[in-house]
Amino acid sequence: MHAFYTKENLQSRLGSLSLPTRDGFHGSGRGILRQDNSLVGVPFEAILARTGDLGKVTTDSVSAMVLRLLALMLDDEFQAISKVATDAHNGTFKATEPKGHPRMMNKALSRDDHLLELSPRTMMNIDIVRNALTFDTVEDLTGAVGQLRQTLGDPVRVKNICSSC
Protein backbone atom coordinates (compact mmCIF):
# COMPACT_ATOMS: atom_id res chain seq x y z
CA MET A 1 0.00 0.00 0.00
CA HIS A 2 2.83 2.40 0.85
CA ALA A 3 4.47 1.74 -2.53
CA PHE A 4 1.20 2.55 -4.32
CA TYR A 5 0.72 5.66 -2.20
CA THR A 6 4.24 6.84 -3.08
CA LYS A 7 4.12 5.82 -6.77
CA GLU A 8 0.83 7.65 -7.33
CA ASN A 9 2.06 10.72 -5.40
CA LEU A 10 -1.10 10.60 -3.31
CA GLN A 11 0.33 12.70 -0.49
CA SER A 12 0.47 15.65 -2.84
CA ARG A 13 -2.56 14.83 -5.00
CA LEU A 14 -4.91 14.09 -2.10
CA GLY A 15 -3.23 16.15 0.59
CA SER A 16 -3.57 19.34 -1.43
CA LEU A 17 -7.31 18.91 -1.98
CA SER A 18 -9.23 21.68 -0.31
CA LEU A 19 -12.98 22.11 -0.02
CA PRO A 20 -14.87 25.15 1.16
CA THR A 21 -17.03 24.61 4.21
CA ARG A 22 -20.31 26.27 5.11
CA ASP A 23 -20.24 29.41 7.19
CA GLY A 24 -21.91 29.58 10.57
CA PHE A 25 -20.25 26.73 12.43
CA HIS A 26 -17.22 28.53 13.87
CA GLY A 27 -18.20 30.12 17.14
CA SER A 28 -18.73 29.03 20.67
CA GLY A 29 -21.47 27.33 22.64
CA ARG A 30 -24.20 26.14 20.29
CA GLY A 31 -22.67 28.17 17.44
CA ILE A 32 -20.12 25.45 16.74
CA LEU A 33 -20.55 22.29 14.68
CA ARG A 34 -23.49 20.70 16.52
CA GLN A 35 -26.93 19.41 15.59
CA ASP A 36 -28.49 22.10 17.80
CA ASN A 37 -26.72 24.93 15.95
CA SER A 38 -29.44 27.31 14.77
CA LEU A 39 -28.46 26.61 11.13
CA VAL A 40 -29.33 22.94 11.62
CA GLY A 41 -32.38 23.43 13.78
CA VAL A 42 -32.75 20.33 15.94
CA PRO A 43 -35.14 21.51 18.71
CA PHE A 44 -32.87 21.18 21.72
CA GLU A 45 -34.96 23.63 23.76
CA ALA A 46 -37.93 21.26 23.61
CA ILE A 47 -35.73 18.35 24.63
CA LEU A 48 -34.22 20.30 27.55
CA ALA A 49 -37.66 21.53 28.68
CA ARG A 50 -38.95 17.98 28.95
CA THR A 51 -35.86 16.27 30.35
CA GLY A 52 -33.99 18.94 32.32
CA ASP A 53 -35.14 17.64 35.70
CA LEU A 54 -34.22 14.07 34.80
CA GLY A 55 -30.46 14.60 34.50
CA LYS A 56 -27.90 14.93 31.75
CA VAL A 57 -27.77 11.25 30.85
CA THR A 58 -31.53 11.13 30.26
CA THR A 59 -31.35 14.36 28.26
CA ASP A 60 -28.53 12.87 26.18
CA SER A 61 -30.48 9.67 25.64
CA VAL A 62 -33.67 11.44 24.51
CA SER A 63 -31.64 13.70 22.24
CA ALA A 64 -29.90 10.66 20.72
CA MET A 65 -33.30 9.11 20.03
CA VAL A 66 -34.46 12.31 18.31
CA LEU A 67 -31.30 12.29 16.17
CA ARG A 68 -31.88 8.63 15.30
CA LEU A 69 -35.45 9.38 14.19
CA LEU A 70 -34.21 12.26 12.03
CA ALA A 71 -31.50 10.04 10.58
CA LEU A 72 -34.01 7.34 9.70
CA MET A 73 -36.13 9.93 7.87
CA LEU A 74 -33.15 11.34 5.93
CA ASP A 75 -31.17 8.18 5.29
CA ASP A 76 -32.85 6.80 2.13
CA GLU A 77 -32.51 10.08 0.23
CA PHE A 78 -28.93 10.62 1.42
CA GLN A 79 -27.93 7.10 0.35
CA ALA A 80 -29.63 7.52 -3.05
CA ILE A 81 -27.86 10.83 -3.72
CA SER A 82 -24.52 9.34 -2.67
CA LYS A 83 -24.99 6.24 -4.83
CA VAL A 84 -25.81 8.31 -7.94
CA ALA A 85 -22.63 10.38 -7.49
CA THR A 86 -20.53 7.28 -6.80
CA ASP A 87 -21.86 5.36 -9.80
CA ALA A 88 -21.38 8.37 -12.09
CA HIS A 89 -17.69 8.44 -11.17
CA ASN A 90 -16.79 4.74 -11.29
CA GLY A 91 -16.80 4.30 -7.53
CA THR A 92 -17.96 1.67 -5.12
CA PHE A 93 -20.83 2.58 -2.81
CA LYS A 94 -21.64 0.97 0.54
CA ALA A 95 -24.56 2.19 2.62
CA THR A 96 -24.20 1.98 6.38
CA GLU A 97 -26.75 2.22 9.15
CA PRO A 98 -27.28 5.59 10.82
CA LYS A 99 -25.21 6.07 13.96
CA GLY A 100 -26.76 4.10 16.80
CA HIS A 101 -27.98 5.18 20.21
CA PRO A 102 -25.29 3.21 22.11
CA ARG A 103 -22.48 4.82 20.08
CA MET A 104 -23.85 8.34 20.64
CA MET A 105 -24.23 7.66 24.37
CA ASN A 106 -20.70 6.25 24.65
CA LYS A 107 -19.34 9.40 23.02
CA ALA A 108 -21.46 11.61 25.31
CA LEU A 109 -19.99 9.93 28.38
CA SER A 110 -16.38 9.82 27.18
CA ARG A 111 -13.92 12.46 28.35
CA ASP A 112 -12.10 12.00 25.01
CA ASP A 113 -15.26 12.87 23.07
CA HIS A 114 -18.25 14.90 24.32
CA LEU A 115 -18.38 14.60 28.13
CA LEU A 116 -17.52 18.26 28.75
CA GLU A 117 -19.77 19.71 26.03
CA LEU A 118 -23.05 21.61 26.49
CA SER A 119 -26.13 19.52 27.18
CA PRO A 120 -27.48 17.69 25.29
CA ARG A 121 -24.02 16.34 24.56
CA THR A 122 -25.27 13.93 21.90
CA MET A 123 -25.93 16.97 19.68
CA MET A 124 -22.18 16.86 18.94
CA ASN A 125 -22.79 13.84 16.66
CA ILE A 126 -22.79 15.40 13.21
CA ASP A 127 -22.29 12.18 11.24
CA ILE A 128 -25.54 10.39 11.96
CA VAL A 129 -26.23 9.47 8.32
CA ARG A 130 -23.17 8.08 6.60
CA ASN A 131 -21.78 5.67 4.06
CA ALA A 132 -18.54 4.56 2.46
CA LEU A 133 -17.52 5.59 -1.05
CA THR A 134 -14.30 4.35 -2.63
CA PHE A 135 -12.64 5.30 -5.90
CA ASP A 136 -9.67 4.01 -7.86
CA THR A 137 -8.49 7.41 -9.08
CA VAL A 138 -8.14 10.87 -7.60
CA GLU A 139 -10.07 12.23 -10.57
CA ASP A 140 -13.06 9.97 -9.88
CA LEU A 141 -13.00 10.92 -6.20
CA THR A 142 -12.91 14.65 -6.93
CA GLY A 143 -15.62 14.27 -9.57
CA ALA A 144 -17.94 12.57 -7.08
CA VAL A 145 -17.17 15.19 -4.44
CA GLY A 146 -18.02 17.91 -6.95
CA GLN A 147 -21.32 16.24 -7.80
CA LEU A 148 -22.18 15.81 -4.12
CA ARG A 149 -21.42 19.49 -3.50
CA GLN A 150 -23.76 20.45 -6.34
CA THR A 151 -26.54 18.29 -4.89
CA LEU A 152 -26.05 18.71 -1.14
CA GLY A 153 -24.10 21.98 -0.92
CA ASP A 154 -20.75 22.58 0.70
CA PRO A 155 -19.83 20.32 3.60
CA VAL A 156 -19.83 21.59 7.17
CA ARG A 157 -16.59 19.78 7.97
CA VAL A 158 -13.78 18.22 5.96
CA LYS A 159 -11.26 15.75 7.37
CA ASN A 160 -8.41 15.18 4.92
CA ILE A 161 -5.99 12.85 6.67
CA CYS A 162 -3.66 13.01 3.67
CA SER A 163 -3.04 16.73 4.21
CA SER A 164 -0.83 15.90 7.19
CA CYS A 165 0.84 12.76 5.79
CA proximity to 91, closest of 160, 142, 140:
140
pLDDT score for 164: 65
Give the 3-state secondary structure percentages of the chain, helix then strand then coil, rounded to 5. 55, 5, 40
Q: Which residues contact 77 (CB under 8 A, 6 or more apart)?
A: none
Confidence of residue 138 (pLDDT cuts 50, 70, 90): very high
pLDDT score for 143: 96
92 forms beta bridges with 134
Q: Region 39-47: what's the mean pLDDT?
A: 92
84-88, 136-140, 159-163 — most confident range? 84-88
Q: What angle do CA 72, 75, 81 make, to 5 degrees?
A: 165
62 forms beta bridges with none
pLDDT score for 14: 83
pLDDT score for 19: 86
**Which whole-number Å values give the CA distances from 5 to 13, 99, 162, in the listed order?**
10, 31, 10
Check if the beta carbon of residue 47 is closer than 8 Å to that of residue 126.
no
* 165 pLDDT above the threshold of 70: no
pLDDT digits (tens, 9 = 90+) for 96-126: 999 999 999 999 999 999 999 999 999 999 9
Q: Alpha helices, DSSP H only, in 89-162?
A: 101-108, 138-152
Share of the chain above pLDDT 70, in %: 98
Spans of all domains in the chain? 26-164
pLDDT digits (tens, 9 = 90+) for 60-70: 999 999 999 99
